[in-house]
């Protein structure tokens, strides 16, 4: 049934949402959308808000701020909090949760809503004392021995996004949720959305505010990772307009490092992220201000955290007066070598783990040191669950160097470990570039690149994946495809997933998959060489990657 050109059911759904919305901004926004739904354009705009619901999955929730079930807002977060509370109550007689938030728009509002709704449902709720990095929240789940954790953040997503990241304590050891917990939580959320108005859900101000001792202990244990801090290394640091600097600064000081120079324009939290198109250190241009600051200071190293400080980016002088950003695989391999050395020096065993889209270099390190190696699906929810984990990383700038403290990627701990490496090298008169050549000599040279194709129409990703499946490639860039692994129906130990892995001659590979958190198709390219001098090995691996990169870009154009 319609009223003129306006679907009555759509308007009724939107009105019901508006009626329970406690936020004046999104109420006004939705009221205007309803009033404007008098022609095709207005109806389409309203349909975009309600044609779907932000899906609660293994990444929790993440999406654009705004009114409606397909946006991040107080109604959606309220339903999620109440549903998650119901899940926790079904699993534990006396459940507890710690809640953190970053500096994005509405992060604190969503966190306080969660604390009040959790407390109102009968869950012991603890709110971190202020905006803090995601690793502090991940640490707090284990440190406080609570049933669960919630972090309100969209990490490195665009400025208009926010998100809701969920961890489980107990048997899950503070890792992010995985199946079947994600589906069980989603079912509880759906029941809340179906049966209750957010305005009628029980709330309580009887939640706890965590003490500074939680942050103090995170700082102490992270600083304890440091070694060789007395070498004169000049470092530039950027927080990318996020919340990393306050805690990172304390950690560096307690570890004994000299205080870094900072990128002043990006050091304070700013939800608008005014100096970057995307607040992701991987994005072109994101580190330009850091490069300029470091060049002016004659610095030796740039370290960057993303806005919630769970990722680390590193750049080093390129030898020609400029800067070279190390890839996530570059940093992950060097930190993996460092972790293997730690285990060897302590005469201990342990597991090195990386996601299947990360470089094969870590597997080579594990073989050399006779350590266990585990390859996982993408995401630290999988990496952090590897048995006997000593170190884990994924190519998207995520590193877990201290699994006893945190079971998620931690850009501040990783920064301490990398700063220690640089300091040790400097004490021996060596640079990171020298160390990369030593790596190539011992393990072979590994090169990689990544292509991220951002789309406005998510259906385009499906069409591209279908095209690659329907017409299998025989070669890429003139290099023969030996075989294709299609994960769509499961592959080996992996469950079904939208992943294609092309194995090419010469141990090169290309992996294609949709992003799990952004509207992107992602391509991962890897090659290696163990022939010739270290410099020749690196040149050969780089050349193969360049050939494949150009071919894939042409293929996807």
Which residue numbers are catalytic?
Answer: 155
Planar angle of CA 258, 260, 266, nearest 5 degrees: 160
- Rounded (10°) CA dihedral 457, 358, 163, 213: -170
Torsional sign, CA 387, 393, 398, 399? positive
State the burial class of residue 268 (Cβ atoms within 10 Å of its Cβ: 0-12, 13-18, 19+).
Answer: middle
State the burial class of residue 547 (Cβ atoms within 10 Å of its Cβ: 0-12, 13-18, 19+).
Answer: middle
Q: Please name every residue paired with 63 in a beta bridge, in sequence order, or none if there are none.
A: 162
CA separation for the pair 400, 105 (Å, rounded)? 28
Q: Are 540 and 531 in contact (CB under 8 A)?
A: yes
DSSP string, 290-344: HHHHHHHHT-SEEEEE-TTS--EEEEEE-SSSSEEEEPHHHHHHHHHHHHHHHHH
Q: Are strands 475-476 and 161-168 parallel, antiparallel or unpaired?
A: unpaired
Provide CB contacts within 8 A for 403, sequence distance 6+: 384, 389, 390, 391, 392
CA separation for the pair 102, 100 (Å, rounded)? 7
| Per-residue buried b or exposed e for 151-180, using 16+ beta carbons within 10 Å of the residue's own CB | bbbbbbbebbbbbbbbbbbeebebbbbbee
Torsional sign, CA 482, 488, 489, 491? positive
SS3 annotation, 390-430: EEEEECCCEEECCCCCCCCCCHHHHHHHHHHHHHHHHHCCC
Closest CA to 468 of 492, 518, 502: 502
Phi-psi region of 272 (alpha: psi -120 to 50; beta: other; left: phi over 0): alpha
State the burial class of residue 33 (Cβ atoms within 10 Å of its Cβ: 0-12, 13-18, 19+).
Answer: buried
User: Token pair for residue 534?
Assistant: 């270290």
Closest CA to 99 of 62, 63, 67, 144: 144
Q: Are strands 161-168 and 61-64 parallel, antiparallel or unpaired?
A: antiparallel
């Amino acid at each position: 049934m319609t009223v003129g050109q306006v679907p009555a059911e759509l308007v009724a759904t939107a009105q019901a949402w508006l009626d329970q919305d406690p936020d004046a901004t999104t109420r006004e926004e939705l009221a205007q959308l309803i009033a404007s739904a008098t022609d095709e354009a207005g109806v389409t705009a309203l349909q975009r808000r309600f044609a779907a619901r932000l899906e609660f999955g293994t990444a929790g929730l993440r999406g654009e701020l705004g009114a409606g079930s397909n946006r991040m807002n107080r109604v959606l977060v309220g339903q999620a909090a109440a549903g998650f509370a119901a899940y926790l109550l079904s699993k534990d007689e006396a459940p507890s949760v710690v809640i953190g938030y970053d500096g994005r728009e509405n992060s604190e509002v969503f966190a306080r809503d969660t604390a009040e709704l959790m407390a109102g449902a009968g869950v012991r709720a603890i709110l971190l004392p202020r905006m803090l990095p995601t690793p502090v929240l991940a640490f707090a789940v284990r440190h406080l021995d609570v049933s669960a954790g919630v972090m309100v953040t969209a990490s490195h997503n665009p400025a208009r996004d926010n998100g809701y990241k969920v961890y489980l304590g107990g048997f899950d050891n503070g890792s992010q949720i995985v199946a079947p917990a994600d589906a069980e939580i989603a079912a509880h959320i759906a029941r809340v959305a179906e049966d209750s108005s957010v305005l009628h859900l029980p709330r309580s101000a009887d939640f706890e505010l965590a003490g500074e001792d939680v942050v103090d202990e995170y700082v102490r244990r992270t600083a304890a990772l440091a070694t060789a801090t007395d070498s004169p290394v000049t470092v530039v640091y950027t927080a990318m307009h996020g919340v990393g600097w306050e805690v990172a600064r304390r950690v560096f000081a307690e570890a004994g490092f000299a205080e870094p120079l900072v990128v002043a324009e990006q050091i304070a939290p700013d939800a608008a992220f005014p100096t970057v198109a995307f607040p992701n250190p991987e994005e072109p241009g994101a580190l330009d201000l850091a490069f300029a600051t470091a060049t002016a200071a004659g610095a030796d190293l740039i370290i960057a955290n993303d806005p919630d400080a769970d990722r680390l980016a590193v750049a080093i002088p390129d030898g020609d007066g400029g800067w070279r950003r190390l890839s996530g695989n570059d940093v992950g391999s060097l930190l993996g070598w460092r972790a293997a050395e730690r285990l060897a020096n302590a005469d201990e065993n342990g597991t090195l783990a990386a996601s299947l889209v990360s470089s094969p270099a870590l597997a080579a390190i594990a073989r050399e040191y006779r350590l266990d190696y585990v390859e996982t699906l993408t995401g630290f929810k999988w990496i952090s669950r590897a048995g006997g984990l000593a170190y884990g990383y994924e190519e998207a700038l995520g590193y877990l160097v201290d699994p006893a403290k945190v079971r998620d990627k931690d850009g501040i701990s990783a920064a301490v470990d990398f700063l220690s490496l640089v300091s040790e090298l400097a004490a021996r008169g060596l640079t990171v570039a020298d160390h990369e050549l030593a790596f190539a000599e011992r393990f072979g040279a590994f090169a990689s690149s990544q292509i991220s194709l951002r789309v406005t129409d998510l259906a385009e990703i499906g069409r591209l994946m279908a095209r690659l499946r329907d017409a299998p490639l025989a070669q890429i860039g003139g290099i023969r495809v030996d075989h294709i692994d299609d994960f769509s129906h499961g592959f080996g130990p992996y469950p079904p997933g939208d992943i294609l892995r092309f194995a090419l001659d010469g141990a090169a590979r290309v992996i294609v998959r949709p992003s799990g958190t952004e509207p992107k198709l992602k391509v991962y390219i890897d090659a290696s060489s163990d022939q010739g001098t270290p410099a020749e090995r690196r040149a050969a691996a780089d050349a193969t990657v360049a050939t494949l990169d150009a071919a894939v870009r042409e293929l996807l154009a």
